[in-house]
Amino acid sequence: MKSIDEIRKEIESYKIENAEAMEQFRLQFLSKKSELQSMFSQIKDIAPEERKSFGQMVNELKDKAQQRLEEYRGKLEAAACAHSGIADVTRPSRNIAMGSMHPISIMMNQVRRIFEDIGYTAVTGPDIEDDWHVFTALNFAEEHPARDMQDTFFVELHPDILLRTHTSSLQVRTMENQQPPIRVICPGRVFRNEAITSRAHCIFHQVEGLYVAENVSFADMKQTLLYFAQRMFGPDVRIRLRPSYFPFTEPSAEMDISCYICGGEGCNLCKHTGWVEILGCGMVDPNVLENCGIDPNKYSGFAFGLGIERMTMLKYTTNDIRLYFENDVRFLQQFKAATK
Ligand code: PHE
């Protein structure tokens, strides 16, 4: 009996130049009566501890032979077409590997679409901002810890210039340039000087929203956010608002959704509480309206901000935020089905 090595060499060096040789090749290596086939039938006579590796080797040979056959079939077909001068229009097209959208983009677009459907317009703006748009206009006290070097990346030698820590800066920019009614969402990249771990990163994405008009109430905000949560996570989702604090909103709240994995029963994702936090929100502080040239006696509004990485991690149950920044195709290609 020929050794595996011998057969491998034969497969590799077999000259196939025409259809006849191709058929000979197929008979010799891939038909029912081929040497490879008889090797498969000998597997049962082989010592049990060697069976697995023997089987693997024979399978590899079979794959190799198959590959060569396909390769030559392609070549012969191409040659036939070239010869006749006519392309074979019945031939299946080549498989084009399609990319997929990044999960963060998928999620940003989904959030955007939901708000655009109810009349919000997306606005974008600079990643590199000044102190006024990120902090001062938003009612951050001079000594507020968020301004601290620990949280904010400042541009060296320019304490006034920094990387935005939230996209609320775009809300300021919008209010400065436009009178109510205002309905905007602000998607974008934000930066915070934090240690990188599985749960936190120094870069992430937010979508923040702002609605300012006459007689806007907390109830309007709650209804809007409920609508959002149900479109995002399904019609059975419930929300709850917990009191919180942000310098630019009063009152402020954090919003939880009922855990959409366990439906509120308690599971690992919601740490057995039945709820997961998804955003911060509140009624725009009158000082902020005033800072931006809007009359707080005439107008009121609400704002909210959500972290896209966090939501994406919840929606796709990924447990490490760093995966979103590594661009490992093995991770990214899992989002093909969600790419639209
Ligand atoms: N800007 C806040 C943050 O980055 C989120 C927020 C936006 C909270 C609007 C309330 C209102 O955490």
Tell me the pLDDT tens digit for each residue of 202-232. 999 999 999 999 999 999 999 999 999 999 9
pLDDT digits (tens, 9 = 90+) for 124-166: 999 999 999 999 999 998 888 777 766 899 888 887 899 999 9
d(CA 140, CA 146): 8
Q: CB under 8 Å to 250, separation ≥6 — which residues?
A: 282, 283, 285, 286
Query: What was the pLDDT predicted at 150?
Result: 67
Torsion of CA 334, 337, 339, 340, to 10 degrees: 180
Cis peptide before 181 (omega within 30 of 0): yes
The alpha carbon of 58 and the centre of ligand 1 are apart by a number of angstroms equal to 62
Structure confidence at residue 317 (pLDDT): 83
Binding-site residues, ligand 1, Cβ < 6 A: 166, 168, 208, 246, 249, 280-282, 303-305
Please, are residues 279 and 170 in contact by the beta-carbon 8 Å criterion?
no
Name the residue with the closest Cα to ligand 1, atom 6.
305
* pLDDT confidence of residue 331: 92
Q: Which atom of ligand 1 is nearest to the CA of 167?
A: 1
How far apart (Å, rounded) are the C-alpha atoms in residues 226 and 224? Answer: 5
The low-confidence residues of the chain, meaning pLDDT below 50, are none
Protein residue with least CA distance to atom 9, ligand 1: 304
Q: Give the number of the atom of ligand 1 that is nearest the alpha carbon of residue 252.
A: 10
- Cα of 155 vs centre of ligand 1, distance in Å, is 23
The atom of ligand 1 lying closest to the CA of 171 is 9
In this structure, what DSSP letter does residue 329 have? H
